[in-house]
Each structure stands twice: as C-alpha cells, then as structure tokens.
Amino acid sequence: MPESKLTQRQKIIFKTIVEEFTRVAEPVGSKTLMQLLDFPVSSATIRNEMAVLEKAGLLEKTHTSSGRIPSQKGYRFYVEHLMETHLDVSTRNSLQQVFRERHYSLDEVVEKSCDILSHMTNLTSIVLGPDARHQALQHIQVIPINSKNAVAIFVTNQGHTENKMFQFEQDVSVEDIKNCTDLLNDQLVGTPICDVVDKMSEIEPMMAAKLVRHEVLFEAFVTAFMRFATEKVAVSGRDNMLGQPEFSDINRLKELMKVLDNGRLFHQWTDQADNVAVQIGTRNELIQIGDCSVVTTKFHYNNEEEGQLMVVGPNRMQYSKVVALMDYMSNVIEDVFGNGKGGKDGE
C-alpha cells in the first residue's frame, strides 16, 4: 500500500510510534499504543494496523522485541507529512534574550548558536558561518590602540565585515600603521579573499620599502587574512553522542568524531551519492546517512550572506523539537542582524 493511501487512524498510530520511539529508544508494542492513543481501539486492531504500516515500509521489526520501530523511509514520511513543530513560550523568550543582551560579532553568534543547539537537543550541533572566501576585499581600516595593539576592520564587496585584534611583538608607530593601511587599500581592493594572501606576498617588497616594521605588519595581516579566508565552523556537543544507544560501538563513534572535526570530511560525508535528502518546509532539510541523520536550516546575516545550523544524531531523534528550535533560532539571528526574514520575533 502506498503511504499516501494510509487511513487517518493508521497515520495517527504511526505518528504515535515515531514520537514514542524517539523519546524512549525502545520498540513500541500494541499494549503501549493502547495507553498512548486518545481513542479506544483493541490490541488486535493495532497489531493489524502495524502490519499494514510495516508492509508499506514505514515500520520495522526488531530482533529483540515484538514491538516496531520506524524505518528510514518512515522517518522521512513523518517529517514530510505528519510532524508538528512547536516551541514553548519560555524557550522562545530565553532564545530572544540570549541574542539581544548585547551586540555579538559574527564569530560569537556562530559559537553561541552551536552551544545552545547542542544543549537543548542533547545532540551534536554544527553551525557554519557565511563563506566570505569568494567575496572581494573592498576596504581595510586599522585603528591603533597603543604601540603594540590595533584593531583591523575588513569589509568585502558584499558588506561582510570582520574585526581582527592585532597584538604586535614590537612597537609599531601610528605612521607605519597608516602607511601600511593606505598601501594595502591601494593594492588589495577588489582582490578575492581567497587570493589575498598570495597577493600579499607579491607586494611584500613594496611594504619593505615604505615601512619601518614591515615584517611585523606583514605577518599580522597575513595571519588575519588566512583566518578570514577560512570557513567559519563551530561544533558543540560531541559528548552527547556517547549517550545515544545507536553509537555504543566505540570504533563507530571515533569515525564519526573524526568527520565532525574536519570540515572537508564532513562535506564529503553529507554529499555522498547514496544519502537521501528530504526538504522540510522552505528552508530545512533532512539528510539521512546510514543510521545517522543531519537536519539543516539556513539563515541570512544580510541579503547576500547565509549561514547554516545543523544537528547531527541518530535517525531516532525528536525531529519536531529539533526543527522547531532550529527554525526559531534562525529567525532570532536574522532579526538581530536586521534581516528580519523570519517575521516579527520569529513568528
């Protein structure tokens, strides 16, 4: 039977099984369902309906119990057609408060979002900040604090701004800082961020000719640009994997940790040809990778730049809670950065 032909009762039974199994990690049997359903139905009828759901490929038997658990296909059907997302008012208010207490930098928002997600879902979260590598440098400003410290402000052609603190090992004069900034603005404006470090090497002789502390300034800017051209990734809640029965195999867990800690490996992992992806609403996606699931949500810092919230866990995760939380966090972040695409206060 195609899942689209399910009766209303079958849908309710299936939805109840998914939500109970994701909550307790134990196969769900007919006696448990009799207690959970809010309409009277016999144990025999429930067993018949579960058999239909199993034939449709939405449920699976386990070796250790007479109960059923959702299949990969079942989870996909649930998030596409049956899931209801809701976030309680206190959680909404606390999320708004966190981001509005003070003005966060981009890096801080990425890390803060990551910590909140892992804490509230009990899973591992990953947050990707906007990728500025293929934007072009538009302006550099350096503000001296004292002879050994300065703040550099980089602006790209798409309005992306980053601040970097310079701590020099030797005293650097205000004049040197001004001359260096003028030189870099003259030579680097319009250069893609990913090419700036190479271009810096080309203009190093010019810096040597014009600046007293050219080595110190050259090193400071090269380091800053290398960090600027690195994709912003934060990972939080790795230890939450330890509490998931699906990852009790220590070697399996080690492999997963390796993937989570390496941006290149993570992209390879999520881009495998045999992964199954399902769109949830307009900006969420579920990616199934074997017995793991990754839920992703996109958000915008401004009209040009977007970031991504991701939660990684077993296929058995509380999708309605995870998606509701990620959606609302995305809206709050967009509101904080003045984009407001999510509507007023994330509604």
Greatest Cα-to-Cα distance within the chain, rounded to the nearest angstrom: 89
- Which amino acid is located at 6 in the chain? L
pLDDT tens digits for 66-102? 789 999 999 999 999 999 988 888 888 888 888 776 6
Q: What share of the chain is helix, strand, coil (3-state, %, to 5)?
A: 50, 20, 30
Compute the CA torsion angle 64, 69, 71, 75 (nearest 10 deg).
-150
- DSSP 3-state of 334: helix
Q: 254 pLDDT exceeds 90?
A: no
pLDDT over threshold 80, residue 34: yes
SS3 63: coil
In this predicted structure, the answer to whether residue 241 has a pLDDT above a threshold of 60 is: yes
Least Cα distance to 311 among 319, 300, 301 occurs for 319
The three-class DSSP label of residue 296 is: strand
Confidence band of 3 (pLDDT split at 50, 70, 90): low
Residue 182 has pLDDT above 90, yes or no: yes
Q: How many CA atoms lie within 13 A of 146 on its CB side?
A: 4
Distance CA 176, CA 172 (A): 7
Domains of the chain by start residue, with CATH = 3-82 (1.10.10.10), 89-130+232-346 (3.30.450.40), 137-228 (3.30.390.60)
pLDDT of residue 101: 67
Among candidate residues 238, 203, 258, 231, the one with its CA nearest the CA of residue 125: 238
Residue located via tokens 């900006």: 283
Mean pLDDT score across all residues of the chain: 86
Per residue in 202-236, pLDDT (tens digit) is: 999 999 999 999 999 999 999 888 877 666 678 89
d(CA 8, CA 94): 37
Question: What residues are paired with 311 via a beta bridge?
Answer: 125, 295
